[in-house]
Every structure is written in structure tokens, then in C-alpha cells.
């Protein structure tokens, strides 16, 4: 950038004016915006958001299956509950809705619950007896 003027003071004043004008220009504002956007890793952000959505949908389906197992309802109720949740705007995804997966989810939940109960008993040294 070159300044205009007959004396060094006038040249500096001219350069300051150019810098001031550049700061308010559209091209400078766009460059600042792009510079700030480059610092944010958008691919990572999008991937994290998708992972959160998938996790939320999976949790919602697991809760529905757990409710069916806990209330001793037939597995055929699952389809109706999924439809109800979709109608209410709950994110249940599109994958975990088959009969085979429903059975696998219940087995997984039961194994995890048994392990949690056993670890609680062992860690707290709870005394108990079993009546037959």
C-alpha cells in the first residue's frame, strides 16, 4: 500500500485513512468471517451432531423395548409404541425396529442389569439369603 502526500506526516495520514476505510469494507468483513470460520472444524462438528442424534434415537428405542419387557407386554406392542413416539415427534431412528433386534436389545439390557446388580452386591458386601 502506498501513501500520498508531500511530507512523511501526510503520507502516514493517507495510509491511516486507507487502513480505516479497508476495515469497514465488505471484502474485509468477508475475509474476517472466513478466517473465523476456518478456525472451527465444521466436519468434526457435523459428525458430533450426527452421533448425538443417533445416540438419542438408540436410547429412545432402548427405553421403549425396556418398557415392553418390564410391563410384560407382547413384542407386537413395540410397533405401535414406535408409531406413537413418531407421531409425538420423538426421534426413534429407522433401524432398531425389527423383531430380531428387539430380542437382542432385551437380552443386552438384561445382561447389563444383572452385571450391575452383582457388582453392587459384591462392592458393598451386602448380605442376603435366598429362599427356596
pLDDT tens-place string over residues 28-41: 888 888 777 666 66
Tell me the whole-structure pTM to 2 decimals.
0.58
Q: In angstroms, rounded to a whole number, what is the distance separating the alpha carbons of residues 109 and 98? A: 16
- Both 35 and 50 in one domain: the answer is no
Q: In angstroms, rounded to a whole number, what is the distance separating the alpha carbons of residues 56 and 92? A: 8
Q: For residue 3, is it within any domain? A: no
Q: Is the pLDDT of residue 57 over 80?
A: yes
Tell whether the torsion through CA atoms of 67, 68, 73 and 78 is positive or negative.
Answer: positive
- Both 83 and 26 in one domain: the answer is no
Q: For residue 132, is it within any domain? A: no
Q: Which ranges of the chain does DSSP label H, i.e. alpha helix?
A: 8-23, 26-39, 42-70, 77-87, 99-124
Mean pLDDT of 44-69: 88
- Both 80 and 32 in one domain: the answer is no
Q: For residue 56, is it within any domain? A: yes
Q: In angstroms, rounded to a whole number, what is the distance separating the alpha carbons of residues 95 and 63? A: 15
Q: Which structural domain range is residue 30 located in? A: 8-39
Amino acid at each position: 500500500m502506498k501513501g500520498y502526500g508531500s511530507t512523511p506526516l501526510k503520507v502516514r495520514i493517507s495510509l491511516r485513512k486507507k487502513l480505516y476505510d479497508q476495515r469497514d469494507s465488505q471484502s474485509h468483513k468477508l475475509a474476517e468471517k472466513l478466517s473465523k470460520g476456518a478456525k472451527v472444524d465444521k466436519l468434526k462438528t457435523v459428525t458430533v451432531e450426527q452421533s448425538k442424534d443417533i445416540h438419542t434415537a438408540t436410547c429412545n428405542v432402548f427405553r421403549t423395548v425396556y418398557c415392553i419387557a418390564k410391563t410384560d407386554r407382547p413384542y407386537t406392542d413395540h410397533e405401535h409404541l414406535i408409531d406413537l413416539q413418531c407421531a409425538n415427534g420423538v426421534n426413534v431412528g429407522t433401524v432398531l425396529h425389527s423383531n430380531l433386534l428387539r430380542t437382542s436389545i432385551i437380552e443386552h439390557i438384561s445382561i447389563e442389569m444383572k452385571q450391575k446388580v452383582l457388582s453392587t452386591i459384591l462392592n458393598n458386601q451386602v448380605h442376603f439369603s435366598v429362599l427356596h
